[in-house]
Amino acid sequence: MAYGEFKSIALAKKAYKRVRKPREFILDDEYVNKSNLVCAHCKKLLRENIAERGFNGNRCTYYPKNKKVICFHYVCSWKVLLNYIYGPLYEKLMY
């Protein structure tokens, strides 16, 4: 499944206004650089480069029930997912 790419959060909310399940999307780099969006995991600005190597991007999730958007750095989104799956074992392996 491909992620939708949007120029702003308002456009993403407009596109997903009739959905029932949470939707993942990517915000445009220009919008991220101009805004003060904060990563929900590491609490740093999304425009900060936190990846040591590889891709530096973002992943956002729109929750239609409460109409909220939660954004993560690309690296942080994987950390959250793997920590959810493997729990304390993941922390021991990676750190």
**Measured CA distances, 89 to 35, 85, 86 (Å):** 35, 9, 6
Token code pair at residue 25: 């999307």
Query: How would DSSP label each residue in 25-47?
Result: EEE-HHHHHHS--B-TTT-SBTT
89, pLDDT greater than 90: no
Which residue ranges make up each domain of the chain?
Answer: 4-94
Q: CB neighbours (10 Å) of residue 46?
A: 25
Predicted pLDDT of residue 1:
58
The half-sphere exposure of 11 on its side-chain side, counting CA atoms within 13 A, is 10
pLDDT digits (tens, 9 = 90+) for 29-83: 899 989 999 999 999 999 888 877 667 789 999 999 999 999 999 888 888 888 8
pTM for this model (two decimals): 0.82
